Amino acid sequence: MSIIFECEYQGHRYAGLGKPSDGEPVTLYRVADGTLRDAVITGGGPAAVIAAVTEGAATVTVTAGDPDVRYLPPLLPTGSGNALVSGFMGTHRSKFDRDPDPEEEFRAPNWVIKGFGSWLRMPGEPLTVPAAPIALLEEPEVALVYVNDAGGTPRYAGYTFGNDLNDIGLHLQNPWGWTPYAKLCDTSLTPWLFLDAPPWTVAGRIVIERAGVTAWEGPFACGSDAIYHRVPDMVGNLFSYPAVRRPGLVNYLLLGADKASYHDGFTIADGDRLTIEVTSHDVVLSNVVEYAAGQAVLATSGSAAAQAGSGAAARTASR
């Protein structure tokens, strides 16, 4: 597998190859914001993308684990913020009572916008959730990464892995109306972009720690072989909508998750550490859950009432 990543180091943007191991030397290649995205759009496969980023670039060698290295979500446009995080829901075979029929007509799964690319969090960063969630659920998922060219055609870059943390308790109270609210929790991604086709088999283990002690753990699967729907159909249907094909837009598409801790009766608490070990790909994604401090109030009820009264008076006067 070919892997590429981007990071910031001493105020500059760099790219690197492979997945560094702590303590080992790592060569970083100086790049501009957009170099990797442009290379993906140009095409030519993984070798061409790597060459476009590394050949002729100024380099610096650092030690993996250097605190001055800040990893970035793959292809994230830090200058423009022109990126969207969204995800498919209810896609896994474990959530259906029958196996898919290869000849069955495609029926698109539910889909929801998660947020802007700038909302993504990296391994080690806290995942902020609303101040009083009902029941949180970690969701290990494959994230496909696309960038639209100047004509609005989506160009596939590769895949990475994420945790689509959400409030499943709120979702279940009103599945048809409150799911977008339930999804307003931070999402984390690994910085490693695998320059390969979407993975067929992905397996691993979730470990939830509370006060440094394992409180829950269990296996997961999130590759194409665990998904009820056909991934090309899911992606093709989504990109039939012009709104997600705007030129230059980077799309992070979360393919959905299997059942996890909530379905086993576990309740995630403030301060819990969620660690997703993608053993099939030797990737670890670990973040601490952080409840928000409180709820902001935009206007008092008195102000709202006054505004409503003013509006009514104006309408009366105009008659």
| Prediction pTM value | 0.92
User: Taking all residues of the chain, what is their mean pLDDT, rounded to a whole number?
Assistant: 92
Answer yes or no: is 218 within a domain: yes
Least confident stretch, 113-117, 237-241, 313-317 = 313-317
Answer yes or no: is 310 within a domain: no
Answer yes or no: is 132 within a domain: yes
51-100: pLDDT as tens digits: 999 999 999 999 999 999 999 999 999 888 899 999 999 999 988 888 88
284-295: pLDDT as tens digits: 999 999 999 876
**Domain final residue pick, 43, 72, 101:** 72
- Residue 257's pLDDT is 95
Decide: 167 and 182 in contact? Cβ < 8 Å: yes
Answer yes or no: is 184 within a domain: yes
- Residue 313's pLDDT is 47
The band of 29, judged by pLDDT with boundaries at 50, 70 and 90, is: very high
- Total domains present in the chain: 2
289-319: pLDDT as tens digits: 999 987 666 665 554 444 445 554 445 444 4
User: Who's near 275: CB < 8 A, 6+ residues apart?
Assistant: 206, 207, 208, 209, 284, 285, 286
Domain that holds residue 222: 73-291
- The first and second tokens of residue 109, run together, are 């799964």
User: Who's near 302: CB < 8 A, 6+ residues apart?
Assistant: none
83 and 34 part of one domain: no
User: Who's near 42: CB < 8 A, 6+ residues apart?
Assistant: 48, 52
84 and 172 part of one domain: yes
Decide: 167 and 185 in contact? Cβ < 8 Å: yes
172 and 224 part of one domain: yes
225 and 275 part of one domain: yes
134 and 268 part of one domain: yes
- Residue 65's pLDDT is 92
**Domain final residue pick, 72, 88, 123:** 72
Report the percent of the chain where pLDDT is more than 70.
92
Answer yes or no: is 4 within a domain: yes
61 and 87 part of one domain: no
Answer yes or no: is 308 within a domain: no
- Residue 304's pLDDT is 47
35 and 168 part of one domain: no
177 and 243 part of one domain: yes
Answer yes or no: is 313 within a domain: no
9 and 136 part of one domain: no
- Look up the CATH number of the domain holding residue 79: 3.90.850.10
Phi, psi (5° rounding) for residue 58?
-65, 145
